[in-house]
Amino acid sequence: MPGVLIVEAMAQVAGVCMLSQEEHKGKLPYFAGIDNVRFKKPVLPGDQIVIYIEVLKVRGTLGKVSAVAKVDDKVAVKGTLMFKIV
């Protein structure tokens, strides 16, 4: 699976996670940046990716999350994503 699609999936999950907070209901998350993304192992057809998101900080309309994509409980991709909530 192309790495850009894995990062996009992590960003989509992080956006939904950010919107689940009560103060962000009815707003839109805009993807603002990527930091320290590392590809640890390839994701092959038939693999199931499980994505974990941890909100690191939210200041006003800016948010930062840590994202980890795992396959068979082994880290495939990890990185930090930033959002602007409008």
- DSSP code per residue over 2-29: -HHHHHHHHHHHHHHHHHTSGGGTT--E
Q: Indicate if the pLDDT at residue 58 is higher than 90.
A: no
Count up the domains in the chain and report the number: 1
Residue in 81, 82, 80, 79 with CA at minimum distance from that of residue 60: 82
Range of the domain at 70: 3-85
Percentage of the chain surpassing pLDDT 90? Answer: 67
Span 49-78, mean pLDDT?
93
Contact 49, 40 (CB under 8 A): no
User: Which CATH number belongs to the domain containing residue 29 in this structure?
Assistant: 3.10.129.10
Residue-wise pLDDT for 1-18, tens only, equals 899 999 999 999 998 888
Average pLDDT over residues 34-47: 94
C-beta separation of 60 from 4 below 8 A: no
> Which residues have a Cβ under 8 Å from the Cβ of 10 and sit 6 or more positions away?
51, 53, 67, 69, 77, 79, 81
